[in-house]
Amino acid sequence: MSESFEPVIVGFTCNWCSYRAADAAGTARVKYAPNVRLIRLMCSGRLDPTFVMKALAGGADGVLITGCHPGDCHYIDQNYKALRRFLLLRRTLKGFGIEPERIKLVWASAAEGMKLANEINTFVDEVRKLGPLNWPKWDSNGHAALQPRSEQVMEVTA
Amino acid sequence: MSMQRISIDPITRLEGHGKIDIFLDEKGDVANSYFQIPELRGFERFCVGRPVEEMPLLTNRICGVCPEAHHMAAAKAADAVYHVDPPRTAKMLRELLYMAFYATDHTTHFYALGGPDFIVGPDAPVAERNILGVIHKVGLEIGGKVIQMRKYGHETVEIIGGRKVHPASSIPGGITKILSEEERKHIEEMGRWAIDFALFSLQAFKDIVLANKTYLDLIVGDVYTHKTYYMGLVDENNKVNFYDGKVRVVDPEGKEFCKYEPKDYTKHIAEHVEPWTYLKFPYLKNVGWKGFTDGKDSGVYMATPLSRLNASDGMATPKAQEAYEELYATLGGKPVHQRLAIHWARLVELLYAAERWVELVTDPEITSPNVHKVPTEVPTEGVGIVEAPRGTLTHHYWTDERGIVTKANLIVGTTNNYAPIQMSTNKAARNLIKGGVVNEGLLNMVEMAFRAYDPCFGCATHSLPGQMPLEITIRTPDGEVVDVVKQFVD
Amino acid sequence: MSDKPKFAMYWAASCGGCEISVLNIAEKILDVDANFEPVFWPVAMDAKYKDVEAMEDGSILLTLWNGGIRNDENEHIAHLLRKKSKILVAFGSCATEGCIPGLANLSPVEEIFATAYHTISTDNPQGIHPQPTFEVPEGTLTIPTLKPVLKTLAQVVDVDYYMPGCPPEPHQIAAVIDLVIQVLQGKAQLPPKGAYIGCGNSTVCDECPRARNVKHITAFRRIQEVAPLDPEICILEQGVPCNGPATRSGCNARCPRVGAQCIGCYGPAEGVLDYGARLITAFASVVDAKEPEEIEAILDGIPDPTGQFYRFNLADSLLRASTAAWKKNGH
């Protein structure tokens, strides 16, 4: 089973630096592992931990988050928020039995296509070694938070 | 060959789940009965890993009828874990909240839960065995008073604890609430009203129950009697105290068997496991587990209002002490073994709770801002014991050096009484069901055997099928009419 | 018998607090009595399971269900009452999101048993654990079996409305009763199915009287280290982790008013998909540090993030349970 296990990784990349780095890698024909499904955010600071939970609950074996180097954020300092969320998220996921090594944060500038490709390959290897996560497919039927939002919530002031 | 089985499922008019299976032999007499608890949630496991200051909040959710009891036991255990002694005002505020809760809780049990069986009649029609039947019997004003008592008790809990259910203000080292003079005055008014209400309830008990020969026979008779050990918390004068003290146990003859500090409970109590139920059976370790039997040689003990009175040398407040003396004079001295007398003992405790409520709230230091002492020692391990209305409640936590819980052991109030409850329902079933004659009234009388223990819940006005005419007048303590609520009355 | 609409209230893996909160509506309970005929309410009246089984499908107009689905009996009764009820309300935090008993989803069921039946005061040298069936001389005794994870009501049956809170506050319960009575009298309409009722549209912060400023947290504190708190200023600002920012309003911020942090018993605010994730975002946003080591040092002030962020909501989060809980038993 482990020989044929290919991890599924979801990668959240920021538009200004790391997404362009991935692009650059592609243009330069630098190969990197195909396991990562890239999702472009305008900024790493847009990374809501909910996305990571959803990815893991939905079948991902690992999640990669990439952003601009500290000090280089297109929106000044939102990547620091990403860093703080990432650190707190990892601690929280540990309580669920999810190994901290399944979530990774990488800084990469638009020019660092090679570096990003290497980081991706390394990460895929690390997750391959950890093995599949195989989170149960809890059916979304009846999941309270996914109920259709009602416009009319009855508000009562105390 | 399997026997005929009668299943009472679920048992009703109590908190929590349970079922009673009664097996009949070929003659239609009871061969045996089993009182099973079908639920387990796992608090002792999932509290591990939680910061110890959350325990008064998490353990609230063990029971939403008596969260105050768990809140206090947890707070005291957390104090012990941190080796910190809260300031006097903090302890008084906690105990004050606790007394208001006690008064409310004992009230709802007597009037709406166990009481109706007793006051209306044990095999009265189902439709009358509830608070409305009680009101019909003793007068419409009663309903209003019961609602008022519950209101006052919960209001006091809310002022000091933040909420009516699941109080939030006790932390290691004290409490987060400073009482204002305005709040203090209001709580005092409510407390004085509670004393009058308690005296009224005791009188009602005498007029309706004790004056009725059939009921009196039921109380003093053998069907609901067991001679066991009795447990309760006592202060330094061996008087009943719900919030603090040492645990005292007396034997079936009333002699002191042991008296221990909370931290020593494992030297005296052990729990027995049976495979047919989720709840365990505590017993006295130094006597031993001999099965579900009475007597000095059996480690079975009871922890209820009656047990507390039996295990003590009296009540710490004057009116309650008078009521205590009257109970024992009437029932022939200490200790009293008849389980239905627990209902009477509960009312004596109601009076004590109300008197203690006023004592605490009129103490000059109750409004002091000195309500918390920051712990300075490294947290390790601690035990907190209080008397829950249903019995002695023990919380024991171990933590790491950061105060994160690594292990927890809880022995909860009603758990103490599980063996006595099994024995009481068994004896009642054997005595009441004979020759295959089974009807709803008799089954209810079997259920009465456990209701005396007040397995946790009360209901001020539970409603019924049928159209009961009802008019309730709500008054302030000065007698001014606040509201009049009617149904089916012109 | 009366022709009043039928009413039921049932508890599964819960604590009884919801029942007490209903009673704390005081005189208003008479409005319930005037407008409904209770047919099944184990805490209050003597109807049994067999009586429910004998009822016609859909004959109970309104059922308030509190408690999570912990064992097979809870699940069976959930299906039974769903069949017999027109309107089924997930009442309180246990039914809506699992509440405190949902924390058991961080351990496998075997560990719950291993802990409960082998505590320091338990005398059990033979390692007896309760069994779903057990033969006694007179016959076979049964008790329900615990399921591998605790579920919310909506995770096992179709739910019409949700009423959050541990427990729902009495003034909210009274408001919902008023609404239902108005509906019965043709004076109002029920909200759309799936609605959250008896609560607010915002967060606890909105109801909190404390002053809120821009937060720069340089340390998270345990409340016993800093009590009593300044009564005027936001609790989170004083470094004590308060879940107000992501918790639904409706309770009137009672805990912050008494000097204690909000622990999140009213569940996720409107529009929140994963409660814990939102809290992680909120807390991380106010941490005042940029270097990883500094940040980690500040985060050390929250020693139990999983419990802090999922205390009431674990069973309804996106992940729902830890690997330990579901790995061995499979789904």
**What CATH number does residue A36 fall under?**
3.40.50
The shortest CB-CB distance from C303 to any of B169, B176, B404 is to B404
Contact call for residues C162 and C197 (beta carbons, < 8 A): yes
- Provide the shortest C-alpha distance from residue B442 to chain C (in Å): 13
CA–CA distance, C142 with C81 (Å, rounded to integer): 22
Q: Is B26 on the interface with C (CB under 8 A)?
A: no
List the beta bridge partners of residue B393. B386
Give which of B42, B48, B58, B76 is closest to B404, Cα–Cα: B48
ipTM here: 0.95
Residues of A with CB below 8 A from C175's CB? 154, 156
DSSP single-letter state for residue B239: -
Q: Does domain C6-101+149-184 have CATH number 3.40.30.10?
A: no
CA–CA distance, C118 with C95 (Å, rounded to integer): 30
* pLDDT tens by residue, B297-346: 999 999 999 999 999 999 999 999 999 999 999 999 999 999 889 999 99
Contact call for residues C67 and C95 (beta carbons, < 8 A): yes
Average pLDDT over residues B261-280: 92
Write the DSSP string, B90-104: HHHHHHHHHHHHHHH
- Provide the shortest C-alpha distance from residue B462 to chain C (in Å): 6
Q: Is residue A3 part of a domain?
A: no
Give which of B319, B388, B313 is closest to B348, Cα–Cα: B319
Instruction: Please tell me whether residues B54 and B34 are part of one structural domain.
Output: no
Q: Is residue B490 part of a domain?
A: no
Average pLDDT over residues A64-78: 93
CA–CA distance, A41 with B460 (Å, rounded to integer): 57
List the beta bridge partners of residue B382. B397
Give the residue numbers spanning the domain of A51.
Answer: 9-138
Positive/negative CA dihedral, C50, C55, C58, C63: negative
Check residues B334 and B36 and name the one with the higher pLDDT: B334
Is the pLDDT at B119 greater than 80? The verdict is no
Instruction: Please tell me whether residues B23 and B112 are part of one structural domain.
Output: no
Q: Is residue B323 part of a domain?
A: yes
Give which of B48, B31, B130, B82 is closest to B408, Cα–Cα: B48
The pLDDT value given to residue B444: 78
CA–CA distance, C26 with C9 (Å, rounded to integer): 17
Q: Is residue A125 part of a domain?
A: yes
Are A97 and C322 within 8 A, CB to CB? yes
pLDDT band at C2 (very low <50, low <70, confident <90, very high): low
Give which of C202, B402, C313, C223 is closest to A92, Cα–Cα: C313
Task: Tell me what the pLDDT averaged over chain B comes to.
Answer: 88
Q: Is residue B165 part of a domain?
A: yes
Q: Hey, how many other C-beta atoms are within 10 angstroms of the C-beta on B182?
A: 9
Instruction: Please tell me whether residues B94 and B71 are part of one structural domain.
Output: yes
Give the C-alpha distances (Å, rounded to integers) separating B131 from B99, B202, B414, B459: 24, 17, 23, 8
Instruction: Please tell me whether residues B159 and B276 are part of one structural domain.
Output: yes
Residues of A with CB below 8 A from C296's CB? 87
DSSP alpha helix (H) spans, B35-140: 43-46, 55-58, 67-81, 88-108, 115-119, 131-138
- What percent of chain B stands above pLDDT 90? 61
CA–CA distance, B402 with B329 (Å, rounded to integer): 54
The pLDDT value given to residue B485: 42
For chain C, the structural domain boundaries read 6-101+149-184, 111-147, 204-300
DSSP alpha helix (H) spans, A62-144: 78-95, 113-130
Instruction: Please tell me whether residues B250 and B386 are part of one structural domain.
Output: yes
Residue numbers of C between 160 and 199 with CB closer than 8 Å to B: 166-167, 169-170
CA–CA distance, B22 with B4 (Å, rounded to integer): 8
Average pLDDT over residues C187-193: 92
Length of chain B: 490
- Indicate the number of domains in chain B: 2
CA–CA distance, B121 with B128 (Å, rounded to integer): 9
Q: Is residue A121 part of a domain?
A: yes
Phi, psi of B271 (to 5 degrees): -120, 135
The pLDDT value given to residue B472: 37
List the beta bridge partners of residue C320. none
* pLDDT tens by residue, C9-27: 999 999 999 999 998 998 7
The two three-digit tokens of residue A95, written as one number: 């309580």
Q: Is residue A149 part of a domain?
A: no
CA–CA distance, B166 with B162 (Å, rounded to integer): 9
Length of chain A: 158
Average pLDDT over residues B279-293: 93
Give which of A116, A31, A102, A103 is closest to A69, Cα–Cα: A116
Contact call for residues B345 and B308 (beta carbons, < 8 A): yes
Task: Give Cα A48 distance to the centre of its chain.
Answer: 10
Residues of B with CB below 8 A from C307's CB? 49-51, 54
DSSP alpha helix (H) spans, chain C: 17-23, 29-35, 49-53, 72-84, 93-97, 109-116, 170-184, 204-207, 223-226, 254-258, 275-286, 292-299, 305-310, 323-327
Residues of B with CB below 8 A from C107's CB? 42, 45-46
Sheet containing strand A103-107, strands side by side: A36-41, A9-14, A62-67, A103-107
Q: Is residue B143 part of a domain?
A: yes
Q: Is A92 on the interface with C (CB under 8 A)?
A: yes
Indicate the burial class of A97 (C-beta count within 10 angstroms; 0-12, 13-18, 19 or more).
Answer: middle
Average pLDDT over residues B225-233: 95
pTM for the whole thing?
A: 0.91
Q: Is residue A146 part of a domain?
A: no
Q: Is residue A116 part of a domain?
A: yes
Are B64 and C124 within 8 A, CB to CB? no
Q: Is residue A83 part of a domain?
A: yes
Contact call for residues C239 and C221 (beta carbons, < 8 A): yes
Residues of C with CB below 8 A from B32's CB? 136-138
The shortest CB-CB distance from B374 to any of C33, C107, C225 is to C225
The shortest CB-CB distance from A142 to any of C154, C195, C277 is to C154
CA–CA distance, B69 with B332 (Å, rounded to integer): 32
Are C254 and B168 within 8 A, CB to CB? yes
Residues of B with CB below 8 A from C141's CB? 21, 34, 36, 276
Give the residue numbers spanning the domain of B3.
Answer: 1-39+417-459
Give the C-alpha distances (Å, rounded to integers) separating C176 from C5, C87, C89: 16, 14, 11
Phi, psi of A65 (to 5 degrees): -120, 130
The pLDDT value given to residue B476: 46
Is the pLDDT at B394 greater than 80? The verdict is yes
Are B409 and C258 within 8 A, CB to CB? no
- Indicate the number of domains in chain A: 1
Phi, psi of C260 (to 5 degrees): -115, 155
Instruction: Please tell me whether residues B21 and B75 are part of one structural domain.
Output: no
The pLDDT value given to residue B470: 31
Instruction: Please tell me whether residues B289 and B338 are part of one structural domain.
Output: yes
Is the pLDDT at C169 greater than 90? The verdict is yes
Instruction: Please tell me whether residues B15 and B51 are part of one structural domain.
Output: no
